[in-house]
Structures are given as structure tokens and as C-alpha cells.
């Protein structure tokens, strides 16, 4: 496989990747040879599937919500455009950690109260039981918070990508009698996706890292498993070295895969 070009676009040999690969292999050897590092790695790895699940579900929901907000921002309705703008500006102005606490301890009880209000006739008739706040797990509260936090940034990615499509093609599709939905599905979105995918991929990598914030709620992800082990064994250096190692493997691997996809899209465009 040909070496990836550097970020400067000059085709420099990726020595940084070679160095990282050497370090990764060396650390893998240490994990295999050293019982302490092997034990830490096995404990931390128990949180890997939680991290993957939280990231994938939150990103999928954030992408769907972000697309909806972007379409509102591009709507012909002034009210919808203002609502979308209000949403993106407010959400982007709140740190993800603060949003996580707010959703977990303010939004979740409010959501449960709203659900109980809606189903109150069924509860009074004995067809349903009232929902309790503890029924909404901390993991799902974290997923909802990440979904909301990232949807505002993803909405801007979609909006910019859709607006990058030549308006002349949209007018030509309109002249052919295509409906608004058909124009979007057949003309606008296939071209916009080439612009959207690279920044969308960057947001996905960023969410992998920000998923570590769910550990503040006690969700058993990679970071939380590391925190629990380190607090019990006082092996902070070994534990957090392994935690950083696992996150680097995930994020750098994803980044390289996304760069390959971006190059392929450029060749086919």
C-alpha cells in the first residue's frame, strides 16, 4: 500500500505514522510480556464495547437530528430557520460536560415527568405503570447528551455541504419537474455527500474521544474501567498509559480509514 501523504499535501513520507507504529508495537510487546500491564489491559478492555456502543448510537442519532436541523436552517420558512439557528447557537455554546450533567440530572427527570403526563390516562385505567427516573439508565442519558451536543455541529456540516451544490443544477432539476424531495435525494445530496463526509468523519473521531466523558456518570466505558482500577490499585501510570494507548489505537485507526475514504472520493469525483 502506498504511504499516506502528509497534511501539507506535499507527499512527505509519513514518518510520524512509522514512529507511532513502532511505539504501538513496543507497547503491545510490553502488555504481552508484563503481567501487570496485561492485567490492566484486560480490565480496561472490558469497557471497550460500552465505548463503541455509546459512540455509534449517539453519533447515528446526532447525524439524524443534525440533518433535520440543517434542513430546517435551509427551509423557506423564516420561523424554522430561526428555530434552527437558535438551537445550533445555544447547543454549541454549552460545553459537552455541562450538557452531560444537565441532561442526566435535569433533562432526564423532566423527560420522565413529560412521559408520565402523556400516559397518565393509561396509568389511571391500570394499563400502564408510571415511569421512574431510574428507569432511564445513565448510559442512555449520556447517549442523549452526546446526541444533542454533536447534532448542532453536524447540522452546520450538513448545511455547508448542501449549500455547496451548484444552484444551477437545482434549477435544472426543478425545470425537469422533480419535486423538492426528489431534487434533494437525486441531485443535491449525492453531490453534497462528498463535501460532508470528511468533516463528518472528524466529528465521529471527536465523539470517540468525548465518549470518555460518560465516565463522570459512572458508565463503565474504557475511562471508567481505568479509573476504578487505578483507584483500587494506585497504579495510575500503568493504568492511564493503557487507557491512552487504547484511545490512540481507536482514533488514529479511524482517522487513517477516513483519510483513505476521502482520497477515494476525490479520485471518483
pLDDT tens, position by position, 184-242: 888 888 888 888 988 999 999 999 999 999 999 989 999 999 999 999 989 999 999 99
Give the pLDDT score at 11: 62
Burial of 179 (0-12, 13-18, 19+ CB in 10 A): exposed
Evaluate if residue 3 carries a pLDDT over 60: no
The pTM assigned to this predicted structure is 0.86
Give the pLDDT score at 181: 77
- Measure the CA–CA gap between 43 and 157, rounded to whole angstroms: 37
Q: Span 237-248, mean pLDDT?
A: 93
pLDDT band at 15 (very low <50, low <70, confident <90, very high): confident
Evaluate if residue 6 carries a pLDDT over 70: no
CB-side exposure of 8: number of CA atoms within 13 Å?
5
Give the pLDDT score at 125: 82
Contact 208, 55 (CB under 8 A): yes
- Per the structure block, which three cell numbers stand in for 63? 447525524
Tell me the pLDDT tens digit for each residue of 253-264. Answer: 998 888 888 788
Q: What residues contact 247, with CB distance under 8 A and at least 6 apart?
A: 208, 209, 212, 222
- Measure the CA–CA gap between 64 and 135, rounded to whole angstroms: 25
Evaluate if residue 4 carries a pLDDT over 80: no
- Measure the CA–CA gap between 238 and 234, rounded to whole angstroms: 9
How distant is the alpha carbon of residue 58 from its chain centre? 6
DSSP summary character for residue 136: S
Contact 14, 4 (CB under 8 A): yes
- Measure the CA–CA gap between 120 and 164, rounded to whole angstroms: 48
Closest CA to 201 of 63, 94, 67, 69: 63
pLDDT band at 122 (very low <50, low <70, confident <90, very high): confident
pLDDT band at 126 (very low <50, low <70, confident <90, very high): confident
- Measure the CA–CA gap between 48 and 53, rounded to whole angstroms: 9
Contact 211, 29 (CB under 8 A): no
Amino acid at each position: 500500500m502506498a504511504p499516506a501523504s502528509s497534511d501539507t499535501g506535499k507527499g512527505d513520507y509519513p514518518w510520524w505514522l512509522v514512529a507511532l507504529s513502532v511505539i504501538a508495537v513496543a507497547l503491545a510487546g510490553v502488555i504481552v510480556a508484563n503481567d501487570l500491564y496485561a492485567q490492566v489491559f484486560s480490565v480496561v478492555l472490558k469497557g471497550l464495547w460500552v465505548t463503541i456502543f455509546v459512540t455509534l448510537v449517539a453519533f447515528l442519532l446526532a447525524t439524524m437530528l443534525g440533518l433535520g436541523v440543517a434542513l430546517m436552517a435551509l427551509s423557506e420558512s423564516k420561523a424554522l430557520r430561526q428555530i434552527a439557528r437558535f438551537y445550533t447557537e445555544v447547543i454549541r455554546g454549552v460545553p459537552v460536560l455541562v450538557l452531560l450533567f444537565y441532561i442526566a440530572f435535569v433533562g432526564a427527570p423532566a423527560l420522565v415527568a413529560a412521559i408520565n403526563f402523556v400516559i397518565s390516562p393509561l396509568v389511571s385505567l391500570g394499563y400502564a405503570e408510571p415511569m421512574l427516573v431510574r428507569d432511564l439508565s445513565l448510559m442512555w442519558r449520556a447517549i442523549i447528551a452526546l446526541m444533542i451536543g454533536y447534532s448542532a455541529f453536524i447540522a452546520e456540516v450538513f448545511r455547508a455541504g448542501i449549500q455547496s451544490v451548484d444552484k444551477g443544477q437545482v434549477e435544472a432539476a426543478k425545470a425537469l419537474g422533480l419535486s423538492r424531495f426528489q431534487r434533494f435525494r437525486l441531485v443535491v445530496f449525492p453531490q453534497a455527500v462528498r463535501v460532508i463526509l470528511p468533516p463528518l468523519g472528524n466529528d465521529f473521531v471527536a465523539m470517540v474521544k468525548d465518549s470518555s466523558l460518560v465516565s463522570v456518570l459512572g458508565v463503565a466505558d474504557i475511562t471508567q474501567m481505568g479509573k476504578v482500577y487505578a483507584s483500587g490499585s494506585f497504579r495510575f501510570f500503568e493504568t492511564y498509559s493503557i487507557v491512552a494507548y487504547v484511545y490512540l489505537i481507536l482514533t488514529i485507526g479511524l482517522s487513517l480509514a477516513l483519510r483513505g475514504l476521502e482520497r477515494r472520493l476525490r479520485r471518483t469525483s
